[in-house]
């Protein structure tokens, strides 16, 4: 179980001086500017939950995760992982934690992937037999075989992310903190990672807290989302309820090969926003309606050529939470 009580983190950054000798005056000055990155955040996560932690850039997500893992010390408040503080009982707590920061690999850049695993296994005191068995399982689950002997710096981003996930799982932790593990990945790589995460949660019962900008990640993986904005929690609950709260339309642009005819009425709840010679713009609420169902209706209006979908911007979705 993960318990977060009134967590707060304030960063102090030196006030940048201006004018002559600005650099040296900034260094010597004692003036600081305070930035409250996390402001009074509380939640609990039960074993086996898969929770999405979302919010716009700068909201305080990474700072929260760094406090959960013990990398950063809270300004006030506390974190308890199975009743232990990651700050005070670091050694014991890290045995329970797997952590991935998508923006930064924890593997050694110039070493073959498998050498990094050896070092990590030793650091986590995983005995040789278990380490070999775990690596075998992970190699299969994450398809690592083709690049175990390759230095990390030569991996593609997708391979690197898989390698990092395996690294986080080597000591078989029961809790995973993932900070943007799908950032920058293409559709196929994302799908692979999602499949792996789903299996970890459903088949192996791992508790997962996932930060991502990808709403599809959230929709496909998480039952529950916590939304943070300006360091404060704006929503904590089910995805279904969040959908109901937001209800922003997805814009669909359908192009036709020839003329098309919009009938006076149809029996699905979507709106025609604009009609042009060969293009129709529709607005549908994907919480209520599958795109396929809309297209099934629209395909009878003319000879469809292509469909382009524009999801509401993430910022809009988050903004919708506060409406």
Binding site for ligand ADP (CB under 6 A): 11, 13, 35, 37, 55, 57-63
Residue 55 touches which of ligand ADP, Mg ion, none (CB < 5 to 8 A by kind)? ligand ADP
Residue 123, burial from CB neighbour count under 10 angstroms (0-12, 13-18, 19+) = exposed
Q: What DSSP element (H or E) covers 54?
A: strand 50-54
In the bound state with ligand ADP, the residue whose beta carbon lies nearer, of 58 and 269, is: 58
CB of 60 to ligand ADP, least distance (A): 4
Q: What is the CA radius of gyration of the chain?
A: 24
CB of 3 to ligand ADP, least distance (A): 20
Sign for the pseudo-dihedral over CA of 67, 73, 78, 82? positive
Q: Strand pairing partners for 52? A: 210, 225
Does 201 engage in binding with Mg ion (CB under 5 A)? no
In the bound state with ligand ADP, the residue whose beta carbon lies nearer, of 235 and 260, is: 235
CB of 207 to Mg ion, least distance (A): 20
Closest residue to Mg ion, based on beta-carbon distance: 62
Residue 60 touches which of ligand ADP, Mg ion, none (CB < 5 to 8 A by kind)? ligand ADP
In the bound state with ligand ADP, the residue whose beta carbon lies nearer, of 134 and 217, is: 217
Hey, is 141 helix, strand or coil? helix
The pair phi, psi for residue 63, each rounded to 5°, is: -60, -40
CA 19 to chain centre: 42
Residue 116 touches which of Mg ion, ligand ADP, none (CB < 5 to 8 A by kind)? none
In the bound state with ligand ADP, the residue whose beta carbon lies nearer, of 11 and 124, is: 11
Structure-token pair, residue 294: 């809309």
* CA dihedral of residues 128, 133, 135, 141 (deg, nearest 10): -170
CB of 36 to ligand ADP, least distance (A): 8
Residues within the interface to Mg ion (CB under 5 A) = 61-62
């Amino acid at each position: 179980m993960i318990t977060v009580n009134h967590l707060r983190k304030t960063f102090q950054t030196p006030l940048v001086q201006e004018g002559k000798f600005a650099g040296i005056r900034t260094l010597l000055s004692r003036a600081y500017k305070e930035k409250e990155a996390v402001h009074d955040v509380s939640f609990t996560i039960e074993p086996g939950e898969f929770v999405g932690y979302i919010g716009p850039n700068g909201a305080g997500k990474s700072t929260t995760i760094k406090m959960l893992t013990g990398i950063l010390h809270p300004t006030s408040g506390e974190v308890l992982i199975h009743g232990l503080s990651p700050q005070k009982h670091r050694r014991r707590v890290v045995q329970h934690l797997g952590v991935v920061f998508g923006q930064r690999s924890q593997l050694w850049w110039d070493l073959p992937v498998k050498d990094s695993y050896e070092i990590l296994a030793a650091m986590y005191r995983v005995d040789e037999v278990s380490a070999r068995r775990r690596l075998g399982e992970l190699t299969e689950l994450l398809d690592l075989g083709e690049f175990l002997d390759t230095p990390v710096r030569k991996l593609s981003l997708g391979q690197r992310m898989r390698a990092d996930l395996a690294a986080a799982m080597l000591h078989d932790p029961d809790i995973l903190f993932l900070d943007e593990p799908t950032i920058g990945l293409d559709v196929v790589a994302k799908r692979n990672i999602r499949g792996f995460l789903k299996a970890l949660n459903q088949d192996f019962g791992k508790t997962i807290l996932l930060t991502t900008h990808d709403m599809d990640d959230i929709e496909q993986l998480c039952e529950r989302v916590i939304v943070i904005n300006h360091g404060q929690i704006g929503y904590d609950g089910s995805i279904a309820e969040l959908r109901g709260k937001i209800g922003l339309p997805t814009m669909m642009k359908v192009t036709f090969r020839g003329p098309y005819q919009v009938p006076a009425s149809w029996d699905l709840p979507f709106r025609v926003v604009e009609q042009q010679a060969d293009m129709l713009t529709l607005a549908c609420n994907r919480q209520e309606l599958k795109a396929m169902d809309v297209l099934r209706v629209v395909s009878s209006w003319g000879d469809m050529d292509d469909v382009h979908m524009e999801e509401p911007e993430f910022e809009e979705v988050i903004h919708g939470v506060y409406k």
